[in-house]
Structure 1
Amino acid sequence: MMFPFSYFLFFFTLVLGIIISISSPSWFGAWIGLELNLLSFIPLITLKMNSYLSEAALKYFLVQALGSALLISSSLFFISFLFFGSLCVLSALLLKLGAAPFYFWFPQVMKGLMWPQAFFLASVQKLAPLALLSFLTLNSKVILIVSLSAVMSALTGALGGLNLMNLREIIAFSSINHLSWMLMAISINDTLWILYYTIYFLVLLSIVSTFHKIKASSISNILQSSRANSSNKLSISLSLFSLGGLPPLTGFIPKWVLIQVMLNLHLFATLFFLLFSSLLTLYYYLRILTPFILLFNPLMSTNMKNKHSMSTNHLFSSSIYFNLIGILFPIYPIFF
């Protein structure tokens, strides 16, 4: 189910809030943009009136309101306690991002959303806090705290996704794990996190659109869905492997660039935790892929209705081509 045309006003104000936050010369203007973004996203969550969406909207509103209150109250400390004020702003932004140690709300909210809203929460809603966070990384102590949060987010995203069956929760913990790489990229260079965010946005779009197309909410739904034909399964496989950063797919490009930069900066301990967590995330991606790859019978695909194959043709092609960019166009050397 897509958003009705009448909701495009909320899309406009949501994007406008992001633009105001990023381009604002003061923290007060950034706070206004974040509030506009929050109030625009709540109606998009409650598109259908049911208990799951209402609960998710309430949880999201309370957590984001807490982060906004902490952000605006930190202005009191900037006059006399500059570092403490920066620490309060940093905590508020990490809370809004759902990064460790403030990740507790993110999987619960994701679990109650539909796939389009879940995609917005895991990608679009992170853009403004990430951009504001990059403005704070001028102090060595702030960079140290951001790096510590990145390590905790990497381990939390990797360990939290184990033994889960709900696909939205798995994507939520995967988002927390990818957020750790973006936090490390922010502490190093703005270009790195923009590159990582862009590729993560497109890879996540390919996997979420496929899950939305086949109406899958758990691993068992993929096996039972009549829409999960061979093209959709191939698209899901490539997208998940690319999301996990498996070389030489597209999702490996930003990780390879960041690995090279971290090696040059001798950040070996932090890099170890990031790589270890990526291996764990690949494990629970394989838990999704293994059942329907082993149980899939190619002969059954000839009995599928033509409308399924035709309706997934464009989605299948775009997802395949994008996730194979890493193979078709070896562009990695241009970053060094």
Structure 2
Amino acid sequence: MLMLSPSLLLFSTTLVAGTLIATSSSSWFVAWLGLELNLLSFIPLVSSSYNTFSSEAALKYFLVQALGSATLLASVTMLLMFTDPPKILILGSLILKMGAAPLHFWLPPVMQGMSWPNCFVLMTVQKIAPIVLMSYVLCPYTSPILVGASVSSAVMGGLGGLNQTLLRKLMAYSSINHLSWMLAALSCSSSLWVHYILTYTVISLSLVILFNYNQVFHIKHFASFSSSQFNKTMVFLSLFSLGGLPPFLGFLPKMTVVKDLASQGFLLWAFILMMSALITLFYYVRISLTALTLASPKTASDLAHVSHKPASAALINLIPLFFPLMMLVPF
């Protein structure tokens, strides 16, 4: 079975180990080593004989990450002679590795060639190490770069998904937009960023499980998505939660980020993030309405094989409805 193959278990373990090494290291060289281990573990996971575009996606991902790693390694050696200028290069290399705008050009085409589980890893796990390393070089000299990356990611993530009908590219632009919120959360506090990425991971997982189970890659595929209205409703809830619409789970971290930005005086920054979230909600609504309204004729055998188990994972987005006191918890 593919899910229990030794190669999958090996590379998944080393991928997580690379992330842990990079985030817990006390030197930049060991952090670079962890990033390389993470990269070389993810490349075999991307390459799949079941997808003709996976080799192209793996090559693109390798070239971009190799450029970011080379820039990072060259920058940290310059820290022996200079103080602040190398931090700008380090920040730029990490922005490239995580796929934040304006260095986001590689993320949508790479995700288009991947399977849904690999897309989930790229949207969540692969962002952890670069963002944690970015927190080490934040200072008054580099903070404007962080603000610029966050604002440009919000704008590009919102506008880039408007004309997309391919779901993996659309989720890539959605990931870029959420990255802008993560960078804003990082500027406020590290605990807020951890809360945001954990919530984003849970919501993305509930959505990716549905898409992968039904093998949905294009908006028109929703016509044969499933005979069950329950499954379609769960897509509806997951997308609205991903967009941060109250009272779903995705609203909690965004509310906290906006509150912290406003308390620190970054009103324009918070306004841009909220406007970009409205744009992403627009194309989430378009997907949801398509899923709910399109239908194709189903035979009795199709109706007999409808499963609600994958869609049940999306019920986690309703946690604030079942536990309304969570809205009062200061994250």
TM-score, normalised with respect to structure 1: 0.93
Aligned to 2:158: 158
Aligned to 2:97: 96
Q: 1:301 to 1:293 in 2, by over 3 A?
A: farther
In structure 1, what is the Cα distance between the partners aligned to 2:3 and 2:57?
Answer: 17
In structure 1, what is the Cα distance between the partners aligned to 2:227 and 2:29?
Answer: 48
Q: What's the CA shift string for 1:217-240, capped at 9, x where partnerless?
A: 000011123x35212101110000
In structure 2, what is the Cα distance between the partners aligned to 1:307 and 1:50?
Answer: 25
Q: CA deviation at 1:49?
A: 5.8
Aligned to 1:329: 323
Aligned residue among 301, 305, 311 for 1:316: 311
Aligned to 1:177: 177
In structure 2, what is the Cα distance between the partners aligned to 1:48 and 1:303?
Answer: 30
* Structure 1 segments unaligned to the other structure (5+ residues): none
In structure 1, what is the Cα distance between the partners aligned to 2:119 and 2:228?
Answer: 24
In structure 2, what is the Cα distance between the partners aligned to 1:60 and 1:104?
Answer: 11
CA contact (8 A) 1:244 1:282 kept: yes
In structure 1, what is the Cα distance between the partners aligned to 2:227 and 2:220?
Answer: 12
Q: 1:176 to 1:30 in 2, by over 3 A?
A: same
CA contact (8 A) 1:243 1:251 kept: yes
In structure 2, what is the Cα distance between the partners aligned to 1:106 and 1:275?
Answer: 23
Q: 1:47 to 1:259 in 2, by over 3 A?
A: same
In structure 2, what is the Cα distance between the partners aligned to 1:180 and 1:92?
Answer: 16
Aligned to 1:247: 246
Q: CA deviation at 1:148?
A: 1.1
Alignment of 1:1-336 (within 5 A): 3-6=3-6, 7-48=8-49, 50-137=51-138, 139-225=139-225, 227=226, 229-296=228-295, 304-309=302-307, 312-313=308-309, 315-320=310-315, 322-330=316-324, 331-335=326-330
Q: CA deviation at 1:2?
A: 5.6
CA contact (8 A) 1:252 1:326 kept: no
Deviates most, 97-106 or 257-266:
257-266
CA contact (8 A) 1:229 1:301 kept: no
Name the SS for the 1:36 alignment partner: helix
Identity %: 43
Deviating above 6 A after TM superposition, structure 1's stretches of 4 or more consecutive aligned residues are 299-303
- RMSD after superposition: 1.9
TM-score, normalised with respect to structure 2: 0.95
